[in-house]
Amino acid sequence: MQSRIPPHARTGGRPRNAAADTAILESTRQALVELGWSKLTLGDVATRAGVAKTTLYRRWAGKSELVVDAVAELFDELELPDRGSLAADIEGVVLQFAALLGRPETKTALMAVVAESTSDEPLRERIRTSIVDRQKRLVLAGRKRAQERGELPPEPDPAAAGRTADLIFDVIAGAVVHRALVSAEPVDEDWAARFTLLLLGGLAAAAAGPEASTAP
């Protein structure tokens, strides 16, 4: 796994050490699974990673920021598969996303930072920029590929295209996270196929525009 430099991490005079970053983020995820949010400390993470605690403080202001970046590195593993059609691509990324959410380190870390962010606006913004905005790349890539195949119409208005991309991301992420983490129900091939059918029906309606729903 490639180490991702946290976008909000502190920078100092010394060059970053990619190996240390990787060890720190991996140790953070391990500690969360074993200790939980309340008992997790930067000192424990430093010990596990084999680095000085000052190394962590040079990169992250505190526990919340560190955990967000540890989660973000996991989500960076997601890739958009090319399975030959928009429907198959969506099913593939949904199953991949669900498998990622099923990993103990992802589940524990994600639910911890989301819970903390309810009363921490800077943390909520960090989640938005480090995880949500970064993963919208999958929607943008999938839509572009589908438009090149002729499966989706072009969207010449950048503002409208941006709103559509946000909506697609919200629908997919919201449904899969709720199914996997809140309802604790399986996200299997059958569910992914039925969800994709529903999503594609909504995309067709969105492409037709709001005036279509009011037409006689």
pLDDT in tens, 173-182: 999 999 999 9
Q: What is the pLDDT of residue 10?
A: 44
Q: What is the pLDDT of residue 204?
A: 64
Phi/psi at 76 (nearest 5 deg)? -65, -15
pLDDT at 90 over 90: yes
Contacts of 208 (CB under 8 A, 6+ apart): none
Q: What is the pLDDT of residue 214?
A: 47
Two structure tokens written together for 12: 């100092």
Residue-wise pLDDT tens digits, 1-58: 444 444 444 444 445 678 899 999 999 999 999 998 889 999 999 999 999 999 998 9
- Could you give the CA distance from residue 65 to residue 38 in angstroms, rounded to a whole number? 15
Banded model confidence at residue 213, pLDDT cuts 50, 70, 90:
very low
The share of the chain scoring above pLDDT 90, in percent, equals 72
Two structure tokens written together for 29: 């995820």
What is the number of alpha carbons within 13 Å of residue 139 lying toward its C-beta? 20
Q: How many residues does the chain have?
A: 216
- Cβ 6 vs Cβ 59: under 8 Å: yes
What pTM was computed for the model? 0.82
